[in-house]
Amino acid sequence: MDEQQSIYFDFLKGETLLIDKPLEWTSFDVVNKIRSMIKYKMKINKIKVGHAGTLDPMATGLLIICTGKTTKKIELFQELEKEYTGTFVLGATTPSFDMETATDREFSVDHITENLIREATEQFTGNIEQIPPIYSALQIKGERAYNLARDKKKVELKSRLVSIHAFDIIRTNLREVDFRIVCSKGTYIRALARDFGQALGTGAYLNKLRRTRIGKFTVAEALVIEQFEQILDYFLKNKS
């Protein structure tokens, strides 16, 4: 813990925390956990805590958490370029475009080759139009789209312009395609899985997703929740 000797927190003035979001946690789960720890351990009755860019429950990786006056910088952080790694599964689709829902259709992958997969990425680089997933937190007349989708109500979302700066294929193994994507704010990797599968004529869904970078901030610098709690306890124990 020697490198922590100089740790100092001022959550009301504002801190920027890099957290590695656990699988199956929502981004708001992380915010609520951090806020609860700060309020309970620091004896602070009221404090602002927010995140700078949602990660889906089935995704892991970098989440920027802002506290106190630093929450005013959230919009600036949201504008930064994002980097993701993950896996698409070819030959099937799900309603949510990821593992949150069960597969609803299956397709042949007999015609798929590695060259075909790599060529398909060229359709999804640069500025592209993308329709967000219906299982998303976007609001439609005051209601979250995912609530409407789960209630089997009709959901229509308009396409939006997003930018894919890099779309690299890391590995292919039968139906699995590992990728690295660098993109702009507002890009849905789940929607890219849908569109990528359609381009290949196989269908596809997102099996794994990890956010590895936001602007200059990397997941290698991030703390898991338990590490943040340990450092916070250490700070409280050793502050003068």
Residues carrying an active site annotation = 56
Q: What's the length of the chain? A: 240
CA distance 176 to 60: 19
The pair of structure tokens assigned to 64 is 């920027």
Calpha distance 209→132 (Å, rounded): 17
Whether 175 and 109 have beta carbons less than 8 Å apart is answered as yes
Which residues fall within 8 angstroms of residue 106, CB to CB, at 6 or more apart? 91, 92, 203
Residue 197 per-residue DSSP state: H
Question: How distant is the alpha carbon of residue 124 from its chain centre?
Answer: 19
DSSP of 176-227, one letter per residue? EEEEEEEE-TT--HHHHHHHHHHHHTS-EEEEEEEEEEETTEEGGG-B-HHH
The alpha carbon dihedral of 55, 155, 105, 101 has a sign of positive
Pairing of strands 92-93, 105-106: antiparallel
Distances (CA, A) of 210 to 87, 131, 156: 9, 21, 27
